[in-house]
Structure 1
Amino acid sequence: MVALVLLTGVGPFATDAYIAALPELRRSLHTSATMAQLTLTAFIIGVAAGQLLLGPVSDIRGRRGIVLVSTVSFALLSLLCAAAPTAGVLVLARLGQGIAAGTGVALGRAMVTDVWQGDRAAARFGSIASVTFLGPVLAPAVGGVILDHGTWRTVFLALTGLGAAMAVAALVGLPETLPAHRRHDGGPRAALARMAGLLRDRTVLTNLVVLCLAIAGFFTYIGGSAFVFQTAYRVDESRYTLIFATNAAGMAAAGLLFRVLVRRAGAGRLRAAGLAASTVATLVLLVVALVDRRAGGPLAVPWTLLAVVVAGMGLTLPASTALTQEAGRRSAGTTAALQGGLGFLAGALVTPLTGLLGYATLLPMASAMAVFFVAACAMLVLLARPGASFQALHSPGG
């Protein structure tokens, strides 16, 4: 589990730990702000690509060898980032680093599915999620401590050490979980065929759509809340950081609660509860936005409602991961690739939505969130209709 947590949780640290150093990075490499930001974009693209490309490959070649190569590659590419002489080299190194990190995320999920089933697998996903959710809270703080005593290059040296620890943990703690007799045959064309087959499976597809819609609502909050709070509610940066960190901590606590409750309640019921909490809180937030158009009311009201939305995601995300992986167990690596790639794409597409719709008031962000969460609930109802397959995890002990 330590190795799996490192595999799946390295992404937030590699994404957020050096964000505060972007202006210094721009100056030291004598480049533009656009190129400095491109180092972040390249990593995010790499994370999505690593999941979509190497998740299906692991169904053919096995998990352990690819995991070991990806962890060592992450460490070496982090070292290259630390030594990058130009912005162009850094962008390319960050792209490769993202591919290595994304590979670990997809294969970590697949390995859980290989070893555990049903609510036991869901409990492991809850444990991993509760730690991973702390990444956005801890990474900026850890990065800030490093930057107090070093530069942006020091952050990447620290990531090199994290990559080395990840490689050692994988070498010691992760056996091969997909034996030869359970692997698929064929090359890239066969892998694409398996991916298409999963997308034609009604249960897999509906679970994926529910997950992507919930992620879209969540990332609308992530991409827009800073602008809304700082513009409409006139909150300064330090206070917004407190708001965001508090909400993220609530999400991590909900992930731990999922770990405790999943064997009694079932992943399906916990997903329904989490999604219902997020949806109801979002609809109330929309009412608040309609009534208080000038944001003259107390800040505690939208803050509390958004905290409920985020905490609900602490139940929804690990439950959706477990349910989707179980539905696509026959090709666990490909299923993990679809979850990570499509979920990431959904989040990336909606992140700038509030900027496009406007952020002078709370209304545009609340409206977009409400649309996505209500649509996710509608898809969940569709999944529960008579005749839908994979009902096992919707009840305790499934």
Structure 2
Amino acid sequence: MSTETRRPALVALILVMGVGPFATDTYLAALPELQDSLATTATVVQLTLTTFIVGMAAGQLLIGPLSDSYGRRRLLLAGAIVFTVLSVVCAVSPNGPMLVAARLIQGLVAGGGVAIGRAVVTDVFHGPRAAATFGVITSFTFLGPVLAPAVGGLILAYGTWRTVFAALAGLGLLMVIGVAAGIPETLPPRDRHPAGLRPLLGRMGGLARDWAFMRHVVLQCVAGAGFFTYIGGSAFVLRSVYDISPARYTVVFATNAAAMAVASLMFRFLVVRTGAAPLRAVGVTLSTVGAGGLLAVALTGPSALPLAAAWAMLCLVVAGMGLTIPSTTALAQEAGRRSAGTASALQGGLTFITAALVTPLTGIFGHDTLLPMALAMSLFFTAAFILMCFVTRTRTPAPV
């Protein structure tokens, strides 16, 4: 499966795997405007984000395993087309419920693209080469949750929240072209698994009982919980505590995105020499230290420590995830290589289910102070650090 003719275009893979994370919160800076425009509640507005994340999780769990039976390319192409259409629906939505429903289905097909994209990489590359490829893709695609608000803020300078979704429709068209021109079928019929619910559940059950695979998934879920607590709460918390403008909020996220990009690129160059597991240890440690520092800032109080202190700690958290995400992805995919689409579905789907559960936390426990968000992030990353120490005591059967 590694011949030159079967290798997909890297740009196409970046589009397929990056559109979903990018579309998760491109419009974060516009949430207050969206609420006023649709004359709805803050709860409904947050649901447009939460349902998209739920859709991303469900799409990975449902569509990823299907690609082990029906192949990768046609499912990717269908998903890209539906994503584009749903972006237009979001742009013209007249009320909150319609926007929530459209975001749910949009997330479903976007999640399928993420899961199948990981499987395509696993089909074509092995070992350190696969890990390095995940690192390159991650440096672009997993910037989405932190870079998207910055891009959305720039769009809002010239348009409204509807313009943001119109831009996503244009990005969807690029994804359709990328899949059609740049991603061949990487799973030939002879290598496919039997179709049907029973074989699918059998593959999922087999991987779920395999600790060599699931230990990476559990670690990714716990670290992802800390990361998505930041994603879901920072827009409200930073505005409430530090009274920052949308423009300054954009600068904060852009800086953090740059830190994540640098860390992901470092991963790409270092992983061939060091392996993925040591780089993951560094990433989890950096994020844990950053979350602990943010908690210290919260306990000290914003009147004593300025925005720069909280900003620096958040930047450290995000930079650490730039190492944690690609390394954990590579380790999990290698451990679940026998059913790459199903393995991708489980690790991505369970991570996004976790994200959907933790995203509303700051809304529930309050965003008038920094403490709830900082405490939740610190607890999640500390748990991830402890789990990482436990996981690294056991040798991976097929080290990456």
Query: How far off its partner does 1:61 sit?
Result: 1.0
Structure-2 separation of matches of 1:289 and 1:29: 34
Structure-2 separation of matches of 1:32 and 1:286: 30
Query: Do the aligned partners of 2:153 and 2:250 also contact (CA within 8 Å) in 1?
Result: no
Equivalent residue for 2:67, pick from 33, 58, 66:
58
Matched letter for residue 61 of structure 1: Y
Q: Show the 5 A alignment for 1:121-270.
A: 121-136=130-145, 138-147=147-156, 149-233=158-242, 235-270=244-279
Query: How far off its partner does 1:158 sit?
Result: 2.9
Q: Report the CA distance shift for 1:235/1:138 in structure 2 as closer, same or farther (over 3 A).
A: closer
Query: Do the aligned partners of 1:325 and 1:335 also contact (CA within 8 Å) in 2?
Result: yes
Query: How far off its partner does 1:54 sit?
Result: 0.5
**Are 1:372 and 2:380 matched, yes or no?**
yes
Summarize deviations over 1:251-271 as a string: whole Å, max 9, x none: 121111111111111111110
Query: Do the aligned partners of 1:137 and 1:249 also contact (CA within 8 Å) in 2?
Result: no
Equivalent residue for 2:399, pick from 381, 385, 392:
392
Query: Do the aligned partners of 2:21 and 2:145 also contact (CA within 8 Å) in 1?
Result: yes
- With the length of structure 1 as denominator, give the TM-score of the two structures: 0.87
Query: Do the aligned partners of 1:9 and 1:132 also contact (CA within 8 Å) in 2?
Result: yes
**Are 1:46 and 2:61 matched, yes or no?**
no
Structure-2 separation of matches of 1:353 and 1:38: 13
Structure-1 separation of matches of 2:328 and 2:306: 34
Structure-1 separation of matches of 2:240 and 2:166: 36
Query: How far off its partner does 1:124 sit?
Result: 1.1
Query: Do the aligned partners of 1:133 and 1:248 also contact (CA within 8 Å) in 2?
Result: no
* RMSD of equivalent CA atoms: 2.8
Q: Report the CA distance shift for 1:144/1:299 in structure 2 as closer, same or farther (over 3 A).
A: closer
- With the length of structure 2 as denominator, give the TM-score of the two structures: 0.87
Q: Report the CA distance shift for 1:385/1:103 in structure 2 as closer, same or farther (over 3 A).
A: same
Query: Do the aligned partners of 1:233 and 1:295 also contact (CA within 8 Å) in 2?
Result: no
Secondary structure at the counterpart of residue 392 of structure 1: coil
Structure-2 separation of matches of 1:34 and 1:389: 43
Residue in structure 1 matched with residue 334 of structure 2 by the alignment: 326
Equivalent residue for 2:348, pick from 340, 349, 354:
340
Structure-1 separation of matches of 2:324 and 2:88: 36
Structure 2's unaligned 5+ residue stretches are 1-9
Structure-2 separation of matches of 1:28 and 1:235: 22
**Are 1:282 and 2:302 matched, yes or no?**
no
Query: Do the aligned partners of 1:224 and 1:359 also contact (CA within 8 Å) in 2?
Result: yes
Q: Report the CA distance shift for 1:378/1:30 in structure 2 as closer, same or farther (over 3 A).
A: closer
Residue in structure 2 matched with residue 116 of structure 1 by the alignment: 125
Query: How far off its partner does 1:43 sit?
Result: 2.7
Q: Report the CA distance shift for 1:250/1:182 in structure 2 as closer, same or farther (over 3 A).
A: same
Query: How far off its partner does 1:300 sit?
Result: 3.1
Summarize deviations over 1:322-342 as a string: whole Å, max 9, x none: 111111111111111111111
Structure-2 separation of matches of 1:205 and 1:389: 12
Query: How far off its partner does 1:219 sit?
Result: 2.0
Query: Do the aligned partners of 2:72 and 2:185 also contact (CA within 8 Å) in 1?
Result: yes
Q: Show the 5 A alignment for 1:35-114.
A: 35=44, 37-84=46-93, 88-114=97-123
Structure-2 separation of matches of 1:114 and 1:245: 33
Residue in structure 2 matched with residue 396 of structure 1 by the alignment: none
Query: How far off its partner does 1:118 sit?
Result: 1.2
Query: How far off its partner does 1:232 sit?
Result: 4.4
**Are 1:309 and 2:306 matched, yes or no?**
no
Q: Report the CA distance shift for 1:317/1:228 in structure 2 as closer, same or farther (over 3 A).
A: same
Structure-1 separation of matches of 2:42 and 2:230: 25
Matched letter for residue 279 of structure 2: L
Q: Report the CA distance shift for 1:285/1:182 in structure 2 as closer, same or farther (over 3 A).
A: same
